[in-house]
Each structure stands twice: as structure tokens, then as C-alpha cells.
Structure 1
Amino acid sequence: MLFLVVFSAESSPERQTCSQQNKKILRQTWNVIASHKYAYMFLKPVNEKFAPEYYRVVKRPMDLLTLKRRVAKGLVDTLEGFQGEVMLMFQNAMMYNESDSEVYRRAVSMQGDIVEHLQVCQGYHKASF
């Protein structure tokens, strides 16, 4: 589990610095994920033209571009929250697609790689606080 330093709601220089540092870490982590060999499948929102009924089945869609925007807006500002959004993206892919499909298999493979990377990030992030 990841624990981050939480400052008061006031806009102090320390809070802004921590927030900026978190954003930088999340952007770097996003770049690593987006460079994965299967990331192209998850870069943009699902096009229902190619995935009929997707938005009826998946109630909370997530993709890498949406995640990047949420980080930029400060809606995702912790590594734990970031990891939750990434796992949601993979869970959606596995929920919608058949287990013998290419998308499903690649989601499982990429998830394994990314979980490993996120665990390293969490260990580093904990040590720095």
C-alpha cells in the first residue's frame, strides 16, 4: 500500500511542490506504460464501431489518454489512484473481451508487466518519504 504525505487543504508552497512532484512521477510512469509493446491497444477510448455494446457492458471506461488527462487536471494525484485507474483499464478489457481473444491475452500480459513496474515505483516512492 502506498502512503503519501498529505498536507492541509491550504495552498502552501510545500503542498504545491508535493503536488508537482507527484504529477511528475505520474507522468513518467504514464510514459513507461504508454511505451509498452501492447499499449497501442489502450491508448484511446474504445470505439464502439469496433466493439459493439462496449459502453453498455463497461460502466466506467478507462484508457491511457483519458488517464493522462486526469493526471494533468489533478483528478488523479497519487500513485495508488493512478494504479487503480490502470487496473480498471485492464479489468474492462478482460470483462468485455473473450478470454481467448487477442485483446484479452494482451491485457493480461501487459497488466503483469505494469503491476511489476508499479510495485517498483511504490517501493521507491515510499523510500523517498
Structure 2
Amino acid sequence: MTPDDEYYTGSETATPTSTSAIEKRRSNPNHTNDQRQKAWQKNINLLWQEIANHKNGTMFMNPIKKSYAPLYDKVVKQPLYLKTIKNRVRDEFERDVVLMLTNSLMYNKEGTEMYLMALEMLDDVREQIRLFKSADGYSVSLWENDSQQ
């Protein structure tokens, strides 16, 4: 079984493979998930920006003040606003990427190629998300306590 096989998990061997095998996997054009994820995030952000820039967008940006709509929270059980939607997309994206990588760490034996790739990618993803959030003024992170480690 090779890393390109559909059911390859990296657990097939307990010994790590050579760096060249890892480099081959990274250079494989079939493994462009990172590029696709970045493009998806960019497109979602552009779409959100277009919606927010709509002539009525500012009315839906933030929670409605009670002084303007005193009964709103009694009538509307699941209020939602553009800023909340933007934060949810980011949070869910981050959670899903972290879950994918931690699943690999849980399943694969420590020291295997897949384990090492997932570990490396998790470290890189943490840094990418930290940079993204700091550039966007978004401070909440799944790893707030990890920065001390």
C-alpha cells in the first residue's frame, strides 16, 4: 500500500519512511487540499463582503438593539447577523481542519509517515490560522492555552 491508495492510513508500518517519500507526497498534484481550502476561504470571505456591502447590509451586521425592536428576542428564537455568520464560518472551518488532523494522530501509530505528516501539518495550520486571525483582528482561538507550551 502507498500513500496514494484510497485506504492508506500510515499505520501499515511502525517505522517512519524516508523524507523523500514525504516530499513525493507533497509534490503530488492530487494533494492540493491546502490550495483548495485557501481558495474556498477567500471566496467565502469575498462573498460575505459582497453581502455586507449590500445597500441594506449594515442593517444586518450586528444584533438588533432592544430600543429599536423590544420584542425581537421573543419572536425570533435564533437571531443571526452577518458578523456572527462570518465568525461561524471561520470557527467551523478551523474545527474541521483540526479534527481531521487530530483524527489522523489518534488513528496512526506514533512515528509513522502519516502521523508525522499530520503532526507537521497541525503545527503549520496552527500558525496559519493564528496569522489569519491576527491579520483580520479575530482573537479567539482553539489554542489559546497552547501558546504557553
| Fold match by TM threshold 0.5 | no
TM-score, with structure 1 as normaliser:
0.43
